Amino acid sequence: MKPFKPVLLVLLIVPAFVGCKLATLLAPDPRPLVSAQFKLSKAKKTAVLIDDYMAPIQSPELKAELAQKVAANLTEGGALRAGDLIGSDKVNDVSKESDEGKKNSIQRIGRDLGADIVVYVNVVDFNLQSDPDNPLIQPQARAYVKVVDVASGERLWPIDITGQPVQATTRMEGDLASDTSAKAQATEKIIDKLAAQVAELFFEHRED
């Protein structure tokens, strides 16, 4: 009997391996689908407005980045088209206060932007070390989200006047006081996660 050749063994194993990988790729995603909590109109100009009244973010650049990432997630998720969104640079430049130093309303800011709809995100907590007794970086961010019709000033969603709560948390090893690279990475991760969770309110997605 002829000896079993290694080449033949490889030819038998490779298709089996490829078949397993292909089956894995074609298998349905087991994570449950989560429906959109509110559907934005693609026929209206929409602005994403980030507010942090108590200044938990303490960085205009990070607020601008959060707005950009919320907008990007909205378009990637199909909630809006790129042309429906008012640019975040324009939103950053519009005056948020009156000449008397009073805070402008969401409706007033939206009107100045030429927006029909404002997705208002009020960040109330942004903390890279949520547990002061633990040296690990444990980022946490909380926000409340509203959708406001600019023409009427009406809150379209949610019913609760405070807004829809969103909470994002991540976990990273590293000492906040001494590890600057870990701090930067943690900041980016929590911004990314908060932006994704805000945007996912408006389109169907898989549960994390």
pLDDT, position 161? 95
DSSP letter for each residue of 26-73: HSPP-SPEE--SSPPPTTS-EEEEEE-TT-SS--HHHHHHHHHHHHHH
More confident residue, 44 or 100: 44
Are 38 and 158 in contact by the 8 Å Cβ rule? The answer is: yes
**pLDDT tens for each residue of 60-99:** 899 999 999 999 999 999 999 999 999 989 999 999 888 8
Show the tokens assigned to 152. Answer: 């009427």
pLDDT single digits (tens) 112-135: 999 999 999 999 999 887 676 776
Domains of the chain, CATH where assigned: 32-206 (3.40.50.10610)
Range in 97-101, 111-115, 195-199 with the lowest mean pLDDT: 97-101
The count of other CB atoms within 10 Å of the CB of residue 135 is 14
How far apart (Å, rounded) are the C-alpha atoms in residues 186 and 35?
29
Task: Find where tokens 């298709």 sit.
Answer: 15
